[in-house]
Amino acid sequence: MSHKPRLTPMNEKVTLLSITTSQYLSEQISEAYGHELGQFRVARFSDGEMQPIIEESVRGEYVFIIGSTFQPSDNLMEMLLTIDAARRASAGYVCAVIPYFGYARQDRKDRPRVPISAKLIANLLEAAGVDRIMTLDFHADQIQGFFDIPVDHLQSQAIFIPYFKEQDMSNVIFASPDMGGVKRARAYAKYFERDMVICDKYRKRANEISGMTLIGDVTGADVILVDDLVDTAGTLCRAADLIMEKGALSVRAIATHPMLSGNAYENINNSQLTELIVSDTIPLRQKSDKIKVLGSADLFATAIRNTHDNASISALFVN
């Protein structure tokens, strides 16, 4: 897919817009940024068809459209239509700020006759006219290559590491709940100069684990599982059980995106996890004493400011 370069915005004004279901996070980002959200609403026809309406001029401006594309799929459609509305309103530069990028788990053909959905979503966003994508913790790093436009792939270490730096980490071992998360767990282990173990799982079908083994020794350790998202929480809870069986003192978990569908809350509350720490990219459906939410607004506000000022985004990464 070809993408024509856009003109540089004619003025320095910034407009922040929010997708409906991400209003809670957008308001925090706008407060951290020091700029009120733009005037925006979504009209609906009687059959549910939506029509995003930008109720102020954005001609020649930097427009940042904030919204996670979690289920239902209306969130993705609202994002696409709002990008189109901004482009047709002669916005100078349009950036889609997508804290949670939906369909990222479908990043390859892992069996015959299935779509590569993450690539399709990338094509749709570019076709809508977006100039830049900003997101947090893709499920797979290679999704950046699905785009022919700049992608700011922010890292959740900037959110979670300050939280752990205030705690005693001398007895901690980091763990990956599967082979795909080894890179994430290793980043934390390297930063805190701690050891790492791996839970190797096998699935017959989505959201159903057939078996799991532990690679490494956790005897007498306080273990922190590291993952990018938690859906039904089956993997995390199974990993926590296995780690405790192998002699760990306690198990906590980090998961950037709290999808928490199905029986997730029940699974977590009944598990051996003492704490699940998540970000606010997706709103919680219910409260749990075991779930702690850390804010991402400051990170996104700084990234938006750096984008507008043509400053470095990589400076926000924790090395």
The model's pLDDT over 36-53, given as tens digits with 9 standing for 90+, comes to 999 999 999 999 999 999
**Comparing C-alpha atoms, which of 301, 293, 26 is closest to residue 163?**
293
The model's pLDDT over 4-44, given as tens digits with 9 standing for 90+, comes to 445 455 457 999 999 999 999 999 999 999 999 999 999 99
**Comparing C-alpha atoms, which of 236, 294, 295 is closest to residue 264?**
236
- What pLDDT score was predicted for residue 1? 45
Distance CA 85, CA 298 (A): 27
What whole-number percentage of the chain has pLDDT above 90?
85
Q: pTM value?
A: 0.92
| 297 membership: H or E segment, kind and range | helix 297-308
The model's pLDDT over 149-208, given as tens digits with 9 standing for 90+, comes to 999 999 999 999 999 999 999 999 999 998 888 999 999 999 999 999 999 876 666 555
Distance CA 265, CA 286 (A): 8
Residue among 4, 13, 190, 201 flagged as catalytic: 201
Please give the mean pLDDT across all residues of the chain: 92
The model's pLDDT over 88-144, given as tens digits with 9 standing for 90+, comes to 999 999 999 999 999 999 999 988 999 999 999 999 999 999 999 999 999 988 999
Residue 258, SS3 per DSSP: strand
CA distances from 285 to 8, 202, 261, 264, 273 (A): 41, 29, 9, 11, 19
**Mean pLDDT for the stretch of residues 282-311:** 95
165 is catalytic: no
